[in-house]
Amino acid sequence: PVPAEAGQEDDGSRCPLPQARRVFLAPGARSSRIFLAPAADPQPAKLSRAELYKPPTSEELTQLKETEDLFHSSLLRLQIEELLKEVTLKETKKKKIDAFLHEINSLLGAIPETPETELTDQAWLSEDVKVPFLQVPFNVKGRFHFVPPAELKVVGSYLLGTCIRPEINVDIAVTMPREIFQDKDNLNQRYHRKRALYLSHIAQHLSKEKLFGSVKFAYMNSNHLKPILLLRPQGKDEKMVTVRLHACPDPGLFKPSRFYPSKNNVRTAWFMEQSSPKEGATEPPTPHYNNSILCDTVMLSHLHLLSNAATDFPGMKDGLALLKVWLNQRQLSKGLGCFSGFLVSMLVAYLLMKRKIVKMMSGYQVLRSTLQFLATTDLSVTGISLAKDADPSLPVLDDFHQAFEVVFVDPSGLVNLCADMTASKYHQVQFEAKRCMEILDDRMVDGFQVLLMTPKPMLRTFDHVFHLKHVSKLQGTCKKMQLLNELMDRGGNYVAAALPFVVSLLARGLSQRAQLVAHSLPQISEWPIDAEPPKHKDIGPLTFGLLFVPEFAASTLEKGPQADHLEALEFRTFWGEKSELRRFQDGSICEAVVWEASTVCQKRLIPEQIIRHLCGLLHVSLLPCVLSLGLKDTSLSQEAMVSVVCSYDDLSRKLWNLKELPLTVTAVQGVHPALRYTDVFPPIPVKPIYSFHNRRKHLLLPSEEKPCPAYITPLKIICHMEGSGQWPQDKGAIKRIKAAFHLQLAELLRQQHQLVCRPAVTHTDVYKDGYVFRLQVAYHREPLILKEVVTPEGMLKYQDTEESRQLELETLHLPYLTSSLHGLQQQHPVFGSTSRLAKRWISAQLLSDSISDECVDLLVAFLFLHPAPFTPPSSPQVGFLRFLNLLATFDWKNNPLIVNLNTGLTGEQEIKNKFVAARSRLPVMFLATPKDQWSSMWTRERPSAQILQRLVLLASESRRALEEQLMDPLSDQDVKVNPLSKNVLEALAVCITGL
């Protein structure tokens, strides 16, 4: 094999081995060694010395320089190149698709005309085809007859070569002839209904052809005003491509001035089905309606713009492919108001026009430049325009901002490409772009895997998720909030009309608690041509995700303005009866809202109280996910552990301040899981009932006729003593010295702090505040002394023994782990709850004996220390879902899990290299920490390969079943599951009810 390192390959003409690749390494770049074996047995290549040492070409040098400047790792470049090969459409498929398109072209030209009828007279249409449009109200003026298309044009990503697998869509613009239109077709949905009837007649004839495997209708980006026709080939090629027919008018059919954002094209009297309009009433603008018509008139101009931008710019094709993969992984590219592939293509064209991107850039540079622009530019505040020459008669950006939440104007100066997008959805895109730029700039993160290969569903992305289960009730919300104008503008789509206002209300109510309030994109799936078109309520439950600021998320107080300020009235109006006047410690009297919560669990439920209150204002029903807004913590274990830690801290101070000890205490470190907040059932303080016991000196013996006393779990504490030359060098003598220290510690604690103590040879038990702390003295040189071995030759050498390893584990590694995880809990308050939930799940699978508690704690700690591409969890439930996903998806066979506690590791690549070299001798689950880089002591003996395989399977099935139920709340948990899933769900039920 030829050792090679990441860079750019040549044609192999100067490669020493036939059919092997020569790869260059950029100077200074980190590398991962790759071995590329030749396909056949290599023969020695007879090369002259000049050919063998021929310098790199200018192209190779350029690529080397680019790799050095742009990529943190040479491997990243190779990974991106392989990804592009995977998602790019192959030439053989293109030829089949082209042949399919030619046949469609011939069929469309042969469709017969129909006689002219009224728009409301649709008897000429076959009963097997339904009009793909919600005709409400039904009565509308105008006449229609079908005439074969005036022009057929392939538009979109297929023609540009920027479409990506696995879903290959080919868009065809079917230009409807002018003769089917009349004056004023721009009014009252006349154009939209003619467009739908035109597609219906095409569907009626194409459905009879054997060429097609399926002929269906769909809404373009789930917009009810824009139905399209989907055609797929017959047989095994059915999944190869989907041809989407877009009916559009001739570009010069309508006057553009009729569709300015301030113009009205839907009359109130017609929409409300009134006999006559009100006198003197002004018609409201219909910008979204106008924009939907304008979009159809500029499809060809957009194609020309993108075609010119892609000319002599190979990096644009690669960059768009990467951006589309990035959007798909974040579920941002489908649905009403999505950030589609077309939109990101237009954005790249804009950046090219503004010279923020140049045609010399590679695909990776295009990706970075686009993400940088999204991260730093808020289109909901400062819109952008592709229009070059400012026509004074055209609307300006301010006009668009008054009509739309997000503004990106196309080259015509008339169409807002982001018309359907809410400000909330754009802020989510912006947040993701900022996060991705941080990841790309972090040399310690595998940017390729995190950004392009890791999916981000809502349940694992957001801290809290909840559903509006009956979206039909948003009709009442529209009425309450007086959104009639928005309903007219949206063609009666009450979901699209109410959604921006619902999101803004939630964002205002959660104020400082949430850094991001996001919503799912309403999506309507395709339907058969003989079925009625889906209604607005058919999107199913509307899902909202909340990403919280941990410092404020659980605050019980919502402080408002002072009572004498003008904003106080607005605050009282917003919160209603929840608002009250309160005096604060600084003497101010302010409006405030106080939420009831006494325990940590109830405080985590405060966002639910806020959301239910706000949804009550909107008269909509809220359905919280079972795991989204908190679990009922009946054991109050969080408060119990806080009490344990407080008592431990007080005992530590007392030990530090003990007088008359021969040697001072240098460190007091806890090792019990409760002291790192991860004990599922922490000890509960127990006060002995003295009447149940008989006293004998310092002992309390249970009385025979009284109930048995409660068992108190001891909390182990390691007490390190200072070094001294007086310590013996014999392990037996050291144990005796430690026993003497145990006796003296008990005596001094009893004398100086009146604590009940019981000394023993190996420890001293201290009863304090209802807990029992087990003190164990440690001497830092003892593990080294236990390693001493005398050879038969009389030489002294050091080697690990079982006794020395166990002592190191108890006195060095466990205290370090506990203190590190205790600090992690201070940074991320839900770490402990997440770990306890994970342990309950493992116990419910009957695997708690096969995996150590410390291993589970480290797995959960990894989620908080290395959360990319997510943010650190702010609720135990999302942490639990990510825990299941980590178990199910991590490549345990080929990769070590590196948990960088206290950022104490810098050579992660070295660990990976050594791991690969010694894989066969290492545990099946390998965990590396700063103090344990090579041995993986917490998984050395367990789990076994069989148990790990079982654990991965259970985690995968648990995650799938749980997410299915959480994202389908209307099913009432009536999900079809296989026997394994059923057992998993039963185990999860035990887990949930126990916390």
SS3 per-residue string spanning 264-276: CCCCHHHHCCCCC
Give the pLDDT score at 73. 60
Question: 195 or 600, which is more confident?
Answer: 195
CA distance 318 to 85: 10
Of 226, 235, 230, the closest CA to residue 217 belongs to 230
State the pairing for strand pair 764-768/771-778.
antiparallel
Q: Where are the alpha helices (DSSP H) in 474-626?
A: 474-480, 484-489, 494-510, 567-575, 600-604, 606-618
Least confident of 137-141, 250-254, 297-301, 631-635: 631-635
Tokens of 367: 């990706």
Residue 628's SS3 state is coil
Backbone angles phi, psi at 774, to 5 degrees: -100, 105
- For residues 247-263, average pLDDT: 91
Structure confidence at residue 46 as a pLDDT band (50, 70, 90): confident
CA distance 530 to 131: 9
**β strands within 602-674, DSSP E:** 622-624, 665-670
Of 384, 395, 396, the closest CA to residue 353 belongs to 384
Are the beta carbons of 370 and 429 closer than 8 angstroms? no
**β strands within 564-688, DSSP E:** 579-583, 589-594, 622-624, 665-670
Give the pLDDT score at 30. 38
Of 471, 461, 459, 476, the closest CA to residue 524 belongs to 471
Contacting residues for 292 by C-beta, under 8 A, at least 6 apart? 192, 223, 225, 226, 419
3-state helix, strand, coil in the chain (%, to 5): 45, 15, 40
Q: Which DSSP letter does residue 312 get?
A: T
- For residues 169-178, average pLDDT: 94
CA distance 88 to 165: 6
Are the beta carbons of 597 and 556 closer than 8 angstroms? yes
What is the Cα 620 distance to its own chain's centre? 27
Give the pLDDT score at 14. 37
Give the pLDDT score at 991. 43
Question: 78 or 30, which is more confident?
Answer: 78
Contacting residues for 919 by C-beta, under 8 A, at least 6 apart? 893, 894
- Omega within 30 of 0 (cis) for the link into 969: no
Domains of the chain: 462-525+533-555+598-622 (3.30.70), 557-594 (no CATH), 647-827 (3.30.460), 828-994 (1.10.1410)
Percent of the chain with pLDDT over 70: 89
CA angle 869, 84, 153 (to 5 degrees): 110
Identify the bridge partners of residue 215 per DSSP, sorted by sequence position: 231
Identify the bridge partners of residue 903 per DSSP, sorted by sequence position: none
Of 931, 987, 930, 993, the closest CA to residue 958 belongs to 987
How far CA 105 is from CA of 92, 237, 990, in Å, comes to: 20, 18, 60
Count of Cβ atoms closer than 10 Å to residue 760 Cβ? 13
Are the beta carbons of 220 and 133 closer than 8 angstroms? no
State the pairing for strand pair 408-409/384-385.
parallel
How far CA 217 is from CA of 130, 132, 150, 174, 528, in Å, comes to: 10, 7, 22, 15, 6
Tokens of 800: 């690990």
- For residues 914-937, average pLDDT: 91
Max mean pLDDT range (424-428, 448-452, 785-789, 974-978): 424-428
Identify the bridge partners of residue 172 per DSSP, sorted by sequence position: 154, 245
Q: Where are the alpha helices (DSSP H) in 118-188?
A: 157-160
Are the beta carbons of 824 and 831 closer than 8 angstroms? yes
Are the beta carbons of 488 and 288 closer than 8 angstroms? no
Identify the bridge partners of residue 777 per DSSP, sorted by sequence position: 719
Percent of the chain with pLDDT over 90: 55
pLDDT, tens only, 952-991: 999 999 999 999 888 876 554 433 444 444 444 444 444 4
Q: Is 615 a residue whose pLDDT tops 70?
A: yes
pLDDT, tens only, 339-386: 999 999 999 999 999 999 999 888 899 999 999 999 999 999 999 999
Give the pLDDT score at 801. 83
Q: Is 36 a residue whose pLDDT tops 70?
A: no
CA distance 950 to 326: 32
Count of Cβ atoms closer than 10 Å to residue 920 Cβ? 5
Q: Is 4 a residue whose pLDDT tops 90?
A: no
How far CA 805 is from CA of 603, 712, 761, 849, 868, in Å, comes to: 43, 29, 21, 21, 34
Q: Is 42 a residue whose pLDDT tops 60?
A: no
Residue 5's SS3 state is coil
Asked whether the CA dihedral 551, 552, 553, 554 is positive or negative, the reply is positive
Give the pLDDT score at 621. 53
* Average confidence score pLDDT of the chain: 85
Are the beta carbons of 111 and 148 closer than 8 angstroms? yes
Structure confidence at residue 695 as a pLDDT band (50, 70, 90): confident
- For residues 893-905, average pLDDT: 90
State the pairing for strand pair 2-4/771-778.
unpaired
Count of Cβ atoms closer than 10 Å to residue 41 Cβ? 6
Radius of gyration of the chain (CA): 35
**Could you give the dihedral angle defined by the CA atoms of residues 806, 810, 816 and 819, in that order, rounded to the nearest 10 degrees?**
150
CA distance 627 to 965: 10
What is the Cα 968 distance to its own chain's centre? 18
Residue 805's SS3 state is helix
Q: Is 879 exposed, middle or buried (0-12, 13-18, 19+ CB in 10 A)?
A: buried
Q: Where are the alpha helices (DSSP H) in 481-599?
A: 484-489, 494-510, 567-575
Structure confidence at residue 619 as a pLDDT band (50, 70, 90): low
State the pairing for strand pair 464-468/622-624.
antiparallel
Count of Cβ atoms closer than 10 Å to residue 569 Cβ? 12
Contacting residues for 339 by C-beta, under 8 A, at least 6 apart? 327, 332, 333, 421, 425, 426, 429
Count of Cβ atoms closer than 10 Å to residue 491 Cβ? 24
CA distance 417 to 98: 29
